[in-house]
Structure 1
């Protein structure tokens, strides 16, 4: 995971391999190179963040809230840790990420997907015309903002309620 996070912030061409098959070989080679490094040294390098001219530095508040949350929960949940509550500020950051990412990730769904995070406005993904004619063809996902974000990122541990045609929901990488 440390290699993944480092590459994402420091190796743009390798990062492209996460989304485009044309760059997948470069991603594999770069990943192997960082996996061979000393773990503590890699963590220290990652903690310093991207360089001053790296665009990731400016996008950090938008992309890293979700990325770091999801991977942190991957580790926590693998250790049997339960879902947790967040401060209002942290929950708001997760909600901003959910609003930005969910429509993109759920865009290929066959039905509109209405996300209903507790304490926040709904987020509607894949809203198409004709919904009122087929009102039962809408999927609803309910839960805390963090749990819905985990669900959007296809984590099985997410504690959400899904109502409606869940088999018509399609999740893709960004």
Structure 2
């Protein structure tokens, strides 16, 4: 079976190089250099996440990321492309589980950051992997927003998080992934139903 974490990583690294260090991304306030530094720190500096658990240390992760972002850009992208085998999130045992969605979403962050893009035609088995992740993150996001919805992915069975869904969200799996990972404005999905609930879903905080 194809390791889509690897193929998405390679495609992302190629795109980061071709776009250069100052291109926009869907990550608010981050250029391509910032996004690349985030990916490298996530894999090589697990201590940078301590601020997520200990609030007084919240600035530590950003300090580590900015230091990594100061590297020469080609060196930085080389580190994105070749993660360390010892990393808790990118070693060969966990790479497909931990990084397929991560690399896909950030690949789309760069693809769509400049505003001119078209959806990709994704292999069916990649869509299946993405859909497993989307189902989990979508239900968590809908619960957080207090929204009941039916989600209808193209080519897969629909799911719902309540007996009486107030809205219906339809689209290809890749677009639903972008939508439910918090990039609603850049996703080509349809949200039908109660207008106020639909607007809450389009503008609310989704993702992790």
TM-score normalised by the shorter chain: which range applies? 0.7 to 0.9
In structure 2, runs of 5+ residues without a counterpart are 1-34
2:198 alignment counterpart: 166
Q: 1:168 Cα deviation (Å)?
A: 4.5
Q: How does 1:1-174 map to 2 (within 5 A)?
A: 1-17=35-51, 21-52=55-86, 54-57=88-91, 58-79=93-114, 80-124=116-160, 127=161, 131=163, 135=164, 137-155=165-183, 156-164=185-193, 165-169=197-201, 170-174=204-208
> CA–CA distance in 1 between the matches of 2:107 and 2:42?
16
The question of whether the paired residues in 2 share the 8 Å contact of 1:14 and 1:23 is answered with no
Q: 1:73 Cα deviation (Å)?
A: 1.3
> Number of residues paired by the alignment?
166
The question of whether the paired residues in 2 share the 8 Å contact of 1:62 and 1:97 is answered with no
- The structure-2 alpha-carbon separation of the partners of 1:24 and 1:111, relative to structure 1 and needing over 3 Å to count, comes to same
Query: Normalising to structure 2: TM-score of the pair?
Result: 0.69
The question of whether the paired residues in 1 share the 8 Å contact of 2:182 and 2:207 is answered with no
- SS of structure 1 residue aligned to 2:150: strand
- The structure-2 alpha-carbon separation of the partners of 1:93 and 1:20, relative to structure 1 and needing over 3 Å to count, comes to farther
**1:100-124: per-residue Cα shift (whole Å, max 9, x none)?**
3222333302122322110012233
> CA–CA distance in 2 between the matches of 1:144 and 1:86?
9
- SS of structure 1 residue aligned to 2:112: helix
- The structure-2 alpha-carbon separation of the partners of 1:97 and 1:20, relative to structure 1 and needing over 3 Å to count, comes to farther
> CA–CA distance in 2 between the matches of 1:19 and 1:171?
20
- The CA RMSD over aligned residues, in Å, is 2.4
> CA–CA distance in 1 between the matches of 2:87 and 2:175?
34
Q: 1:99 Cα deviation (Å)?
A: 2.3
Query: Normalising to structure 1: TM-score of the pair?
Result: 0.81
